[in-house]
Amino acid sequence: MATVPEFEFGRTLLRAGGMWRRNLLKLGACILAISVIGLIVQGLLLLAAGGGAIPTAEREPAIAAVAAAGIGMIILGLISASLLSAVNAYAAEAEVKGEKATFAGGWKASWGNLLPQLGIQALLWLMLLVIYLACALLGRIFGILLFLGAATVFAVFFGLAASIQLNERRGVFASIGESVKAGEGNRWALFGYYLLAYLIAVIALLVSYFLLIMLLAIAAGTSSLALPTGQAADGILPFLLLFIPIYLFFSAAAPLALGSIPASAYVSLRKNRNEQAVSRIFE
């Protein structure tokens, strides 16, 4: 009979923070490169949907262009999420092996696993959408609270799928199924871990965001977040000098912070089973 690995709650929280700190520059640069490509494609989609002034006779083709651009945005979001999930799964792989993650390794892992990661993300997004719509029917406040709880349970069951796919070289359905199986015996510990870790990450990101925005406002020469018309010429340079680094920092920090949470859970469970594959421990 297979033994259930003990999930180390506190150590996993510390590991998530450590993974974020160690990989912020190297994998953060990889995430920024992916984000830049996404922004370029997004801009092209918006340009294709815009088309300038639209005469009445051409309104129907314009609506079709906007609809096509909307579908393109959804596909682009799925691709970006797939690439980012692979980067964090690669960070987990490096952590398990005791190696240092590199930009080249993250880049190769993200594009080399795009199709299976895309399949996983598409299925998970669809399931989350169904859960959200079901919760929305129960009212605004109660529905939001219920969805947050349901999303945490969702992470408990499916949060390891991306890491299992990349590290165990499993297919889309096998990775999702084995993510469910890998949490057996640790459901409540994982639930508490995800709930607390995501809460800490979101609060930390929000606090640092508002602090940086306050510095941005001060640098722009105004106490509000918007530049007054009369001060735009004087404040625009320090505004841009701070805005660009802030944007770049959060573009890298947020995906790494949120992605390191399930990745560190995978590492903890993997390390507690003497290097056996996650997918084999319960057989």
Low-confidence ranges of the chain (pLDDT < 70): 1-6, 50-62, 65, 216-217, 219-242, 273-283
Q: What is the pLDDT of residue 235?
A: 54
C-beta of residue 205 within 8 angstroms of C-beta of residue 257: yes
* Angle, vertex CA 48, rays to CA 47 and CA 50, nearest 5: 60
Q: What is the pLDDT of residue 211?
A: 80
Task: Name 233's Cβ contacts closer than 8 Å, sequence gap at least 6.
Answer: none
C-beta of residue 196 within 8 angstroms of C-beta of residue 214: no
Residue 222 Cα distances to 29, 94, 189, 213, 245, angstroms = 32, 45, 47, 12, 19
Q: Say what the pTM is.
A: 0.81
Q: What is the pLDDT of residue 191?
A: 94
Q: What is the pLDDT of residue 1?
A: 44
Q: What is the pLDDT of residue 277?
A: 54
Q: What is the pLDDT of residue 114?
A: 95
Q: Which of 217, 214, 219, 208 is nearest to 249 (CA)?
A: 208
Assigned token pair, 240:
């841009």
Q: What is the pLDDT of residues 206-221, one digit of tens each?
A: 888 888 777 766 766 6
- Taking the C-alpha atoms of residue 245 and residue 251, their distance in angstroms, rounded to an integer, is 10
- % residues pLDDT > 70 (the chain): 78
Residue 170: φ, ψ to 5°: -100, 165
Q: Please tell me whether residue 226 adopts helix, strand or coil conformation.
A: coil
Residue 49 Cα distances to 41, 72, 239, 246, angstroms = 12, 10, 30, 29
Q: What is the pLDDT of residue 3?
A: 56
Name the one residue in this structure whose structure tokens are 């609506």.
63
Q: What is the pLDDT of residue 249?
A: 82
Q: What is the pLDDT of residue 238?
A: 62
